[in-house]
Structures are given as structure tokens and as C-alpha cells.
């Protein structure tokens, strides 16, 4: 199973969680592309206060960031906390391709609720945790 497949399962799990709606209400219409070095890219977007994910990236993407897949896994499994990063630290883990980091995440604000909710799912779902741990090896 690839990281993208694991993320798809995670987003499906979040879509069925009514508690997630409050995390994405303020992000209506936002989207972000994450390029995983050597592993493809995904686009996270919010519609109706629900997170969705599609493989690839739209040509009109406003926010594109690149990261190593192992780094993103650490945001999910608790090794790193995106919400705890200062602006100057974000560039240690993410390379801004389009858009920029500034206070509260800037163009990449959506990274915070995405990583926080996936981390919460990792802690609460043994199935999702197992899939993430398998990809991390």
C-alpha cells in the first residue's frame, strides 16, 4: 500500500466523522497540493466543511508544497506536530512551490487541520494506525 492509498483511507475515515466538520468549517473552498518526493501528489480540498482528497494536482492550484513522504508520515504518527511549528521552521519540512508560509500557515493553513485530524485518526483507529505504520517501514 502506498502513502497516497493510506491517505485516501484516512480522508474517507475523516469524512464519516461528524466531529471533523468543525475543524474544516473555516476552510470552505480552500485547497492545497502536496507533492511527495518520488511518490506523486495529492490535492486536499474542503467543500461543505468536509475534507476530500484527489490524486494529482489541478493546473490552477493556488498552494503547492513539496515534502518527503517520511516527513509527512511523522506529522501523522505524532513524530512531528505541524501546529507546533513556527513559520521559520516550516521550510525545514516543506518546500513552498506555489504560495508562501507566513503567520498561521498562510497559503498552507489547511496543512494544520489536515495533519491534526489525520494524527487524531492515527491515535483512534487501529486499522489506520497499522496502514500508516506499514507505509512508514
Domains (range + CATH), the chain: 3-132 (3.30.1050.10)
**Within 13 Å, how many C-alpha atoms sit on residue 47's CB side?**
6
Percent of the chain with pLDDT over 70: 96
**Sorting pLDDT into bands at 50, 70 and 90, what band is 134?**
very high
**Sorting pLDDT into bands at 50, 70 and 90, what band is 88?**
confident
In whole angstroms, what is the distance from residue 133 CA to residue 71 CA? 13
Task: Give the start-end residues of each E strand in 1-137.
Answer: 31-36, 40-47, 50-55, 64-67, 95-98
pLDDT of residue 81: 87
Residue among 93, 106, 102, 107 nearest 64 (CA): 107
The more confident residue out of 99 and 100 is 99
pLDDT of residue 133: 97
Burial class (CB in 10 A: 0-12, 13-18, 19+), 134: exposed
In whole angstroms, what is the distance from residue 53 CA to residue 102 CA? 24
Q: What is the pTM of this model?
A: 0.90
3-class DSSP state of 58: coil
Amino acid at each position: 500500500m502506498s502513502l497516497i492509498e493510506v491517505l485516501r483511507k484516512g480522508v474517507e475515515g475523516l469524512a464519516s466523522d461528524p466531529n471533523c466538520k468543525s475543524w474544516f468549517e473555516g476552510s470552505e473552498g480552500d485547497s492545497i497540493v502536496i507533492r511527495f518526493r518520488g511518490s506523486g501528489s495529492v490535492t486536499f480540498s474542503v467543500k461543505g466543511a468536509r475534507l476530500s482528497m484527489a490524486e494529482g494536482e489541478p493546473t490552477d492550484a493556488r498552494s503547492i508544497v513539496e515534502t518527503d513522504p517520511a516527513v509527512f508520515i511523522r506529522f501523522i504518527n505524532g513524530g512531528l506536530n505541524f501546529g507546533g511549528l513556527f513559520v521559520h521552521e516550516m521550510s525545514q519540512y516543506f518546500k513552498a512551490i506555489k504560495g508562501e508560509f507566513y503567520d498561521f500557515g498562510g497559503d498552507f493553513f489547511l496543512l494544520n487541520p489536515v495533519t491534526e485530524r489525520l494524527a487524531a485518526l492515527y491515535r483512534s483507529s487501529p486499522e489506520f494506525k497499522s496502514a500508516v505504520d506499514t507505509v512508514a517501514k
